[in-house]
Structure 1
Amino acid sequence: MKNLNFGTKLLIILLGTVILSLGTMIFFTSKNQYANAEEEAKNYIKATVKAYAMEQKSILDNTISVVDSMVNRIETAIKTGENLTKEGMVDYQKNILKKNDFLFTAWIGFEDDSYLFDRYDGKDVNPYYTPKGVFQPLVTSEGGGKYSVEFLPEFNKEDVYLKPAIENKKVSITKPYEYEMSNGKKVLMVSVAAPIIINSKVIGVVGVDFSLETINKKVSEITLYKTGYLSLYEPHGIVVAHPRTEGVGKPFSNLTSNPTVLGIIEQGVKGKEYDFMTKSLRDGKEAYTYSYPYEFGDTKRYWMMACSVPIDEFMEKANDVRNFSLIFSFIVLGLIIVIVVYNMRILSKNLTTISSGLLGFFAFLNKESQNTTPINIKSTDEFGTMAKVINENIVKTQELIKQDELLINDVKRVVDEVKAGHLNKRIEKTTVNTGLEELKNNFNEMLENSMNNICTDVNKVVEVLDKFSKLDFRVKIENDNGKVAMGINNLATIINDMLKENKANGLTLEQSSKLLLENVDKLNLSSNEAAASLEETAAALEEITSNIRNNTESIAKMSS
């Protein structure tokens, strides 16, 4: 990363951020969508199962109403003394089957039919009498509006279709049982029966039957998704409807020993909904199963409607949503990557162009090159604006540098002139660089002051001074108002005047010297003559002195 340029680093960071962010978003979005789709599918399954369960419940509840109406009709007739005919009762049963096509049979079983009818005298040849002559009609729907009538077996409180109602003394439903019709056909039945009670005594039982085959066929025709199926179980755990028909009418435990699956019955008899995922009993595929219990009347006894749907079927929509989301997300990600890469290339190109332009400009500033190339970005975006501003500043800086160079070169020229002794030269170039412009002005002012205080051309001063050193004071500095130049000129004038005066004094002195020499000669002659006289005088004096000394010594001796 350290060796990569900024554009590449930014591209990698952006792509990494985009991929990570979008990937995270895709993951959680897909996860949520998948979970929502799964929940939606499960809710659909539950709603469907509940709808079919309520349909079955309405059938059971309607069956209860039918049985109650049969009991009420008979009990009311007995209590009120209404004269009911046997043919009328049979027609009443046929009408019940006609209005409730889901019912297979309707029947009346009397332990004692004398409460309602006269004793059988053997004259009636209708087939609804038992061998003992008890009126026990069993009406069976054969379809197409046809009904068969036969007698119910002799009243036996232990019979499977009578016992629950007699024991409970209210509407009851039996376990599924196998019933052999008079024609020898065996039918798997469920009976809903209610007791006929007179003076607290059960005198008979009325009921209706429906075939589990009919229910099984109807339930088996229902399909959820592609192969999802419904199954139905009664409160004792007997299979009422299932695609594995060998288990119909038998305990559910005959089909499976899986405790998870058997939870349908365990939870259902408690009135609790139940769902789970395990292998389907039909084909072994992983499936989602939901069970919904519905009550038979108000007996607190629950039937269970269950549905099993292969996971890959009910999650197909969720998978499609997830796959679409993934594909769409990858497409979006690809587009984003392409857009980012394209823009990053433009960004990298612009940055490289700006970088190259700036490096060239800095090389120009550092005198490493003689010129610089403008940044060539024609866009109207930030980079174009930046390049335009940089180019404008480069041009301004170039002009400033050129002005500075011209000014500096002019300074060099003036310095060379000053070195040559010409103090009348000035820096003429200008610049917008305030520092250099101020320095130029100060330098020019210094030269102006130097010229005013010294001279215009130092060479002339040197030349004059050189003449002066050779005692030639005749020359002067012409056309120069410098104070030093004027002072030198004045000095030359003074020296010349002084020399003129000295010359005059010299001539006078020469004449005086000559006169003096003549007088000296005369003096010398007189001096010589005086010297000789002096010598003579000295000798006389010495002689006198000697005489005096002798006289003194003589006096001394005389005194002693």
Structure 2
Amino acid sequence: MFQLFKKLSLTQQLTFPIAIVGFLVLGVIGFVSTQDTFREAKSNALATSLEVGKKYSQQIESYLNKPFAQTEILGRTLAMQVEKGLQSRQRTHFELLEMLKSDSGYLATWSAWEPNAFDGQDQKYINAEFHEKTGRFYPWWIRQGDNLIYKTLLNPETPDLGDWYFKPMSSKKSMLLEPYSDTVNGKKIVMTSAVYTIVQNGEAQGIVGVDISLDTVKNLVAEVKPFADSESYLISDTNMLVAGPDEEKIMKPFEAESQVADLIKKNEVGSLEIKTEKGKELVLVVPVGIYNLQQKWTLMVRTPEKTILSSAYAILWKQGIISIIGLALLMTTVYFGARSSSTKITTLSTNLTTSSGAVAEAIENLNVTGGQLADSSTRAAASIEETAASLEEITSMVKLNTENAQQAAVLSGDSARLAKDGEEKIEQLIQMMTSIESSSKKMEEIIGIIDDIAFQTNLLALNASVEAARAGEHGRGFAVVAEAVRSLAQRSASAAKDINALITTSVDQVKQGTVAGRENGEVLRKISGSIDKVASLNQEIAHASQQQSSGISQIGSAINQLDELIQKNASQAQEVVATASEINDQSAVMKSTVQILSGEVSSENSELNPSPVSV
């Protein structure tokens, strides 16, 4: 398909895609518009059918409600008369006759009572005029043509009571009897009866009824035609077909699709779409209320979908014709526009041919320059990468020296603190030695005093001995005491000399220790000062090493950034080379395109494979 498209002329290549797109756009617009038209047609059809259905259902309700209203009035009147004892069989005969005369559509009016329920005088009327053999009250007026004839309900034609009597009596409710067929004036008609049940003290006593023809209802149902092909049906509450298009199915059970039957059972307005053998149909059901009874009949309208959508199909045909005309106009306009564009493109291709050679030469120069730039950038990137590696090793060594200097500074600081502590301890020792020296001098003085005391004691003891010798016998005891005192004084003197010698030796040693402590303190102070200077130098060395490490790190970071920039430049240079090569290829493609546009090369033999330019 693409090869066939390439063989077309430029005008055709411009015209056909636009025509196809226009056709698709018009098709989509037509499809969407058709769907909206179909939906609107269905909505309008449903609204029309509902309006018509409700209109005729109300007319049918009115037709059925009238006899019920009259039977209820008469039934209530009779019940009141029976309750008050004012009942009269003759008057009731005439009341039923007057009700029959009130509407020419009534076929009969009648009443039926339980034995003796009306006036308790059934025995009195056995075989009497207007009565049957039991005397029960069964008045019945019927219409035969223009004549109104009186009969009893139980007669040779109707000898037994039927559902028309037993159903309302057993249910004790008023009701519309099931439609039935009968022959009236030699004509078979469909009819029903509106029955009012008279209940007193909870017991059904009798009924009043009106027989009505359903021909009027059938005619009304036949008029329910929202569309020409619509079909209408009237279904009773017992699912009997009362009226419809097929006479053979009337008075028979109504047969319908399951979903339609379910819709009818709901006894409410509703609609649905169903598929039948004839196609899709729109089904509408409208309940028909009957007076104030619980009974509801159903009016159903069925309309074929093709009838509903006939107007929509007509609009669709009009849209199709308009779309075809519009598409033809569009293709004509595009064709002449494409021809004009082709002429302008030919002129443009001539100008492009002139400039394409210069562009190709400039691109070639750019390609050579880009190659040189890429080569230089690659070599510079390699050198910077080696420098960065060496600088990284130096940075590592400086960081190690910095860490060692910081550790030495920490140790020097600790040594300085210990030296200061030792200096303080030596000072304390010197103070203690000085104190001991002072105490020793005091002890030396005390020993001198003790020596003097011992000397004086010795002299006193000697004098005492001399005096005791002089006293003779009388001083012998005193001489013994004096000798003991002298001996003690000599021992004290000897001990004092020993203590004095020991103290003198201790004092000399304390003096020597004090001198040595002072000398050690002086040396320790010098050591502490040296350690402080070493610690200060180590701190300065550590700080300088840290600054050097920081500076080298910054240099390394700058080198790395420079390396990244050079790598980026090298990559960009390579991209420039690739771009130049790509532009060169694109230039060749442009040149070939220009040749095609100018007619130098046929589109059949040229292969245009343009690719996006990478920058």
User: Which range, TM-score by smaller chain?
Assistant: 0.5 to 0.7
* Counterpart check, 1:60 vs 2:56: no
Alpha-carbon distance change, 239 to 339 in structure 1, aligned in 2, over 3 angstroms: same
Q: Which runs of 5+ in 1 are unaligned?
A: 254-259, 367-560
CA distance in 2, matches of 1:206, 1:324: 63
Q: CA deviation at 1:196?
A: 1.3
- Say how many residue pairs are matched: 349
Paired amino acid for 2:197 = P
Alignment of 1:431-510 (within 5 A): none
TM-score normalized by the length of structure 1? 0.53
Residues 80-101 of structure 1 deviation map (CA, whole Å, 9 limit, x = unaligned): 4556514531333224434xx3
CA distance in 2, matches of 1:156, 1:329: 77
1:169 equivalent in structure 2: 172
TM-score normalized by the length of structure 2? 0.49
Q: CA deviation at 1:195?
A: 1.1
Paired amino acid for 1:341 = Y
Q: CA deviation at 1:339?
A: 3.1
Counterpart among 223, 227, 230 of residue 228 in structure 1: 230
Matched position secondary structure for 1:225: coil
1:152 equivalent in structure 2: 153
Is the 8 Å Cα contact of residues 34 and 318 (structure 1) preserved in structure 2? yes
1:495 equivalent in structure 2: none
Q: CA deviation at 1:240?
A: 0.7
Alignment of 1:264-275 (within 5 A): 264-272=260-268, 273-275=270-272
Q: CA deviation at 1:250?
A: 1.4
Paired amino acid for 1:15 = A
Q: CA deviation at 1:22?
A: 1.6
Is the 8 Å Cα contact of residues 30 and 326 (structure 1) preserved in structure 2? no
Q: CA deviation at 1:66?
A: 2.8
* Counterpart check, 1:74 vs 2:70: no
Alpha-carbon distance change, 164 to 338 in structure 1, aligned in 2, over 3 angstroms: farther
Residues 194-235 of structure 1 deviation map (CA, whole Å, 9 limit, x = unaligned): 211233332210122223444334423544422322111111
Alpha-carbon distance change, 160 to 114 in structure 1, aligned in 2, over 3 angstroms: closer
Is the 8 Å Cα contact of residues 127 and 134 (structure 2) preserved in structure 1? no
Is the 8 Å Cα contact of residues 66 and 96 (structure 1) preserved in structure 2? no
Identity in percent: 19
1:42 equivalent in structure 2: 46
Greater relative contact order (CA < 8 Å, ≥ 6 in sequence) = 2
Paired amino acid for 2:265 = V
Is the 8 Å Cα contact of residues 295 and 301 (structure 1) preserved in structure 2? yes
Q: CA deviation at 1:359?
A: 7.0
* Counterpart check, 1:310 vs 2:311: no
Paired amino acid for 1:50 = K
Residues 17-38 of structure 1 deviation map (CA, whole Å, 9 limit, x = unaligned): 2222221111111122122212
Matched position secondary structure for 1:303: strand
1:426 equivalent in structure 2: none
Q: CA deviation at 1:261?
A: 2.0
Alpha-carbon distance change, 185 to 34 in structure 1, aligned in 2, over 3 angstroms: closer
2:421 equivalent in structure 1: none
Alignment of 1:1-16 (within 5 A): 1=5, 8-16=12-20
Alignment of 1:258-337 (within 5 A): 261-272=257-268, 273-279=270-276, 287-337=281-331
Is the 8 Å Cα contact of residues 118 and 137 (structure 2) preserved in structure 1? no
CA distance in 2, matches of 1:237, 1:149: 34
CA distance in 1, matches of 2:119, 2:329: 88
Alpha-carbon distance change, 223 to 340 in structure 1, aligned in 2, over 3 angstroms: same
Counterpart among 75, 79, 88 of residue 94 in structure 2: 88
Residues 255-313 of structure 1 deviation map (CA, whole Å, 9 limit, x = unaligned): xxxxx625444432332535342437xxx565433333334345443312112223322
Q: CA deviation at 1:74?
A: 1.5
Matched position secondary structure for 1:162: helix
Paired amino acid for 1:88 = F
Counterpart among 236, 243, 246 of residue 244 in structure 1: 246
Paired amino acid for 1:332 = G
Alpha-carbon distance change, 268 to 113 in structure 1, aligned in 2, over 3 angstroms: farther
CA distance in 1, matches of 2:95, 2:128: 15
Paired amino acid for 1:271 = N
Is the 8 Å Cα contact of residues 275 and 291 (structure 1) preserved in structure 2? no
Alpha-carbon distance change, 70 to 329 in structure 1, aligned in 2, over 3 angstroms: farther
Is the 8 Å Cα contact of residues 232 and 244 (structure 2) preserved in structure 1? yes
Q: CA deviation at 1:118?
A: 6.8
CA distance in 2, matches of 1:332, 1:148: 78
Q: CA RMSD in A?
A: 3.8
CA distance in 2, matches of 1:194, 1:86: 15
